[in-house]
A and B are shown apart, each in its own frame.
Chain A
């Protein structure tokens, strides 16, 4: 059982890494969007393996479902082919890659040196426990504030995307 979890974990991790690179390396935005969907789905597998089924399902429904459909909808609507030009030369890309590698090594060394607990086997992140915490006084007001945020985003999106009245 444990080895099955490990195999699934590393397979999903590798898939997430590869598709994330495809998101950034891809020339066509529609290709990037599809690669991003693969990344989001493999992250959902990782959430499930780390013992959080609620977040795993939410990832599929909200990210891979709602948000990516919105992205693809806009891409199709604007009929984006590929990027017009790439003015930065090879030097900027190399510099950015080098800096990214330095950052990766530094923070990676810190993570490897830290002693993260593996977590107890009795860890329970069921939807019932999540709901009890989400609607407890600690997070209730934040939760209600997000509903106002969503409402204002809705109104803002309609106002911004509307054609200006002549």
Chain B
């Protein structure tokens, strides 16, 4: 295998993570923010797979498996919360949900 692939995969994971973080901070739609979080989780998964390859151990892949399970659970609960929010406020704008603001 090309020896440059592992560091390049880690760099790509870093770039995807930064793009996802930008989405979380700049977007105003709850669902788009949520999708950016999924993007960040995927960036971390890519880093796990690359490091697993680099150190010849499978533990990184098992962690990716668990991250995916948690992401599935999080998506189910999060989208249910989005549905409930939309029912209450009739909007998906993150600035509308400021009930907990001090």
Residues of A within 8 A of B (CB): 2, 5-6, 9-10, 13, 16-17, 20-21, 23-24, 26, 29, 32-33, 36, 39-40, 43, 46-47, 49-52, 54-55, 58-59, 62-63, 66-67, 70-71, 74-75, 77-78, 80, 83-88, 92-93, 96-97, 100, 103-104, 107-108, 111-112, 114, 116-121, 123, 125, 129-130, 133-134, 139, 142, 146, 149-150, 152-154, 156-158, 160-161, 163
User: Are A71's CB and B65's CB within 8 A?
Assistant: no
The chain B residue sitting closest to A67, CB to CB, is B75
Task: Tally chain B residues at the interface, Cβ within 8 Å.
Answer: 73
Within 8 A of A (CB), among B52-67: 52-56, 58-59, 61-62, 64-66
Q: A108-B14, A118-B5, A161-B84 are in contact. Are A29 and B31 (CB under 8 A)?
A: yes
9 contacts between A and B (CB under 8 A): A13-B9, A24-B23, A24-B36, A39-B39, A47-B49, A50-B9, A118-B6, A150-B72, A157-B80
A160 touches which of B4, B39, B53, B84 (Cβ 8 Å): B84
Q: Is the interface of B mostly helix, strand, loop or mixed?
A: helix
User: Are B56's CB and A104's CB within 8 A?
Assistant: no
The chain B residue sitting closest to A161, CB to CB, is B80
CB proximity of A155 to chain B, nearest CB, Å: 10
B56 touches which of A13, A67, A119, A152 (Cβ 8 Å): A119
Give bound CA distance, A16 to B64, whole Å.
18
User: Are A20's CB and B20's CB within 8 A?
Assistant: yes
The chain B residue sitting closest to A156, CB to CB, is B77
The chain A residue sitting closest to B47, CB to CB, is A111
A150 touches which of B3, B73, B80, B87 (Cβ 8 Å): B73
CB proximity of A1 to chain B, nearest CB, Å: 10
User: Are B31's CB and A80's CB within 8 A?
Assistant: yes
User: Are A6's CB and B93's CB within 8 A?
Assistant: no
User: Are A134's CB and B62's CB within 8 A?
Assistant: yes
| A residues near B6, Cβ cutoff 8 Å | 50, 116-119
CB proximity of A6 to chain B, nearest CB, Å: 5
| B residues near A157, Cβ cutoff 8 Å | 76-77, 79-80
| A residues near B73, Cβ cutoff 8 Å | 149-150, 152-153
A84 touches which of B9, B28, B45 (Cβ 8 Å): B28
Give bound CA distance, A149 to B73, whole Å.
7
| B residues near A52, Cβ cutoff 8 Å | 49, 52-53, 61
| A residues near B92, Cβ cutoff 8 Å | 78, 80
| B residues near A74, Cβ cutoff 8 Å | 31, 79, 82-83
